A and B are shown apart, each in its own frame.
Chain A
């Protein structure tokens, strides 16, 4: 072959491939191509690469001019003679007008022609409007939090819009018949797909009350500090993405209304992952919490009765007094333990979608890390010259988010009507229009015993029917805790919601189910002293929303409060207490509480601390409830530290900078100066920050003291060179340096809860969420020592249940922390850390054993005996608690074991008449025998019949057995003796746990209701010096209100979807009435009668502005009264 005149590696090939070749050379190149396959493939590759580059470069995060700059440009353009000035003042309206137009026009940055663009823009906008209409219709289960209400500003409103509110009248009325939705559905799915690619933020701008003042700042580009744009932008970002996500959902909706069963409804049975069903009906009769149908009949529902087999006093071992670690585990125990098939540890997953786009771009500014790491203490370039960066990040953020497909949030969608009413305003309007002359008390008939999830009475009918059953029958589906039927669209919305509000991200939790003590006697989990979930839940509730299910971690709710556990013995880091009593929400079951208390360290004995504050100062931290709160907390902390402590401050945004070298705590003014100077701007490069912070901590390591990096962030590492997994790995690696790592979460709307929790966990630290000043006070002042000083790390618990006493058990909470049994002894496996004075409480719901333990799965095992004969003390043990922990600077763990004896025979058959209550309590101050004697005396004095009181001397425990009143009286009297702690604390923990179960809408909630929670909590409040318990009680009351509103809201939405015939059928109260005479419109009556009400006979003839009404039977189905002539026979 002839020689190639052009080598393959020649720029001309590239030029050819890109279509840029000079025509004169065309011929030569083409000849080459004809001859050489290499050349051809090279050209092909180049073209492919070109395509890839074009695509990727288009998606590079694009910065943007500030709004002011834009305004200046346009203004100059309008008046070219003034174009020279960049500092032209711009009038407010012009700017706002421009801004709006800009955003509404800026739909597509693509190459579409203007007309196409406008049509597409309009279509997308219409689509999104429709989507929002549909989304706004309040949902069934009260789980969904909806859109933001722009009109009122409740307590926390840093974004300039108020958080979502449950009920919206305007929209509910509009969300109507299915035909409309069907036609919408198809167009929506198309448009949604399109709109997902558009710049989403303008929807926010368009539909929300964009605060005009944001744009109104005169002056040039410099020296500006805009208000919190990023979070608004994020909201907008999810509007668009939400459109995309919803497209599929809406499509589903149009296929008619199907309902799925729900665990709480009669029809639904939860599919229990571990085998066995748990049926908690709520009709008040069936209370069985048994595991299979066959067992139900055996009356295990009733707690233990008298003692056929009351043996001699059980030999008792002293779980608490044992201070020597016991190395050998008891191999000869009740059941063969080694190979029990425990559920695999439920590993957490991040709820966020993949961060493919994160790798892109933003590599600028990295080199400063080198200098920063070298220890130079320079500010980032901006601060050094005193400039502040104006920030308009919403485009960038929105792009990032749209890229990552996170646009699923129902919560952040903005309203489209500017004259939207807030909840309060709506109700006020209703009340104005309420009718008079009607006896409300007489009119209300409430069916007792029937209530929804939160214990709210369901809208009643006569005949003991409820709206719930009537509807179900009408629509052939089961309903949920709020009495609302479920539909496909609801399940989609529910799923959307449970992933968090908009940009928030929660790791999904699957609740622990009941496990058989016979098959899985070992329950292993890591201790958790995080309190973030409680503060986070509190934040949602205070903003009138129900928190997403996955935001509720019950163990963190319970652990938020302090309990009166006994102090550990002298050299021990921990004390362990075990209590048991009847389970309030499942009377047949017991609740076992295991309490771990860490040694307290008085403030003045606190070891010196070497602290590094790693503060996220990226743009998203600008809002009120973030950086300012961080600063406040840090200032609070600064007040507390001494010369022996050292503080350093590292900030990170685009780059990491050490703002304060490790300074001793005596030089407070210096420290405060740096804290006050912190400003937020830029993107978030978390990895650099972490590196630098650890370096700073290691450089000033205090052996024997506390060395800790405290990260303050909203968790939104939205741009960076590292993925989440890499960050976690980084932390894990760093944790080997014996520097601890705590995480403080701030803010809302983009809180990355799941990620933060994981970081804290891997870093040997705690995760707390600071939602306000009070919490900052708690974390930085009240609990300072606990926050700073870790007394043990990698704390694990393993509980072994005795299958002869316990049929099955369920660990409440700790879903993120459960681990396989084998990991308990494996020191390589991380677990939680416990700070000084912290207590860890774990609750188990336990089903006592029946006559013989029966395996859940149905068949007895062939090679393992069902009942292992036990003698003596062993037979009396309920469970054994094993504890492993590492001292802060140790690498090997220590094991402690505490067998806990149970009262004889907690498993019994009910006698039906007098359910027997039992209560086993750990004494903190008194000794067992004298306490028992005193109690018996007290009972005599009060002339009351005492329950049986047994004293477990060695363990300092008492056991009561008797009727419920006797036991409760015993608790009261015990309180009189000064042993207030245990009983009250137990009830408090139970109340909080029940609340958590309700918030999670747990299938295991049994008979729990908000009223029950209130009852328990109010009784158990105690002295409450910090006021936190009262706050909890207030929170529960608040939740009741929210739930009540949702109940109505859900009903309204459901009614809205029904046809006229269906509504009339409903109004006849399932055929109770016939002969419809009249329909009277009265939407306002819902405030009096709730969504449905069977009033009965009324003789009046004038109502709601109408006269000459027929007398008859009045039934209210929102928004009308139906007047029936006759009662059907």
Chain B
């Protein structure tokens, strides 16, 4: 590889490493299937290379999430007729944990938090993840999801409130 390419590869590596996990998590939430999520993310990155790097500067994260989301939603729509796990995991679901009182026994509120996040409605969950896992701002989230900024705010607020309420008993 010549120098220019080497430098580019370096950058790619870093991007890949930095965002791969987050994007995969995000995509998986949407499509439900791990393997499909991987495809989606792979496509996203491949698209990335075709972009002008300069253009993206400062908007990289947002761009990544947007493209990823678009892909993922596409995939999901196509797969819908197969009625795969995607539907279920996208919707609200209760944990199938068989043991009674398992939640109550969990004294670790940190673990509880994640569990509570999982139980939120899909759109709230997505926004929360974009904000706290992806580190996007309200505006970026709004651009990625196509919702208005205030809608994003409302979703976040409601989601957080739910979590706070549920956490309250254990966090005196």
Chain A residues within CB distance 8 Å of chain B: 9-15, 18, 20, 45-46, 49-50, 52-58, 60, 62-66, 69-70, 72-74, 76-78, 80, 83-84, 86, 101-102, 105-106, 109, 114, 221-222, 356-357, 359-361, 363-370, 381-382, 387, 389, 395, 687-688, 691, 721-722, 726, 729-730
Contact = CB atoms under 8 A, between A and B. Distances in A.
Contact of B96 (A14, A50, A80, A367): A367
Contacts of A365: 32, 85, 89
Contacts of A15: 138, 153, 156-157
A73 B42 contact: yes
B97 A687 contact: yes
B38 interface: yes
Contact of B25 (A9, A12, A62): A62
A57 B132 contact: yes
A370 B96 contact: yes
Contacts of B164: 45-46, 49
A13 to B, nearest CB: 8
A724 to B, nearest CB: 12
B153 A11 contact: yes
B161 interface: yes
Interface in B10-54: 12-14, 16-18, 20-22, 24-25, 28, 32-35, 37-39, 41-43, 45-46, 49-50
6 contacts: A14-B157, A57-B132, A74-B16, A86-B43, A364-B89, A722-B98
Given A73-B45, A382-B35, A726-B102, A367 B17 contact: no
Interface of A is mostly: helix
B111 A102 contact: no
Interface of B is mostly: helix
Given A86-B46, A729-B99, A106 B17 contact: yes
Given A86-B42, A102-B13, A370-B96, 4 more contacts: A20-B138, A53-B132, A86-B43, A721-B96
Nearest to B133: A57
Interface of B: 1, 5, 8-9, 12-14, 16-18, 20-22, 24-25, 28, 32-35, 37-39, 41-43, 45-46, 49-50, 84-85, 88-89, 93, 95-99, 102, 106, 108-115, 117-118, 128-129, 131-133, 137-138, 150, 153-154, 156-158, 160-161, 163-164, 167
Contact of B34 (A54, A63, A76): A63
Contacts of A46: 160, 164
User: Of residues A66, A86, A114, A363, which shows the largest number of chain B Cβ atoms within 10 Å of its Cβ?
Assistant: A363
A-B pairs with the 10 shortest C-beta distances? A62-B21, A359-B111, A367-B88, A11-B157, A14-B157, A57-B133, A53-B132, A11-B153, A77-B49, A20-B138
A49 B163 contact: yes
Given A20-B138, A364-B28, A57 B114 contact: yes
Contacts of A76: 46, 49
Contacts of B35: 221-222, 382, 387, 389
A356 B108 contact: yes
Contact of A11 (B45, B85, B156, B167): B156
Contacts of B95: 363, 366, 721
Contacts of B49: 73, 76-77, 80, 83
A77 B12 contact: yes
Contacts of B93: 363, 366-367
A109 to B, nearest CB: 6
A884 B150 CA distance: 71
Contacts of A687: 97-99
B117 to A, nearest CB: 7
Contacts of B167: 49
Contacts of B84: 381
B89 A367 contact: yes
Contacts of A356: 108, 110-111
Given A363-B95, A370-B96, A63 B138 contact: no
A60 B25 CA distance: 9
A709 to B, nearest CB: 15
Contacts of B88: 367-368
B25 A74 contact: no
B142 to A, nearest CB: 11
Nearest to A682: B34
A15 B93 CA distance: 28
A106 B22 CA distance: 15
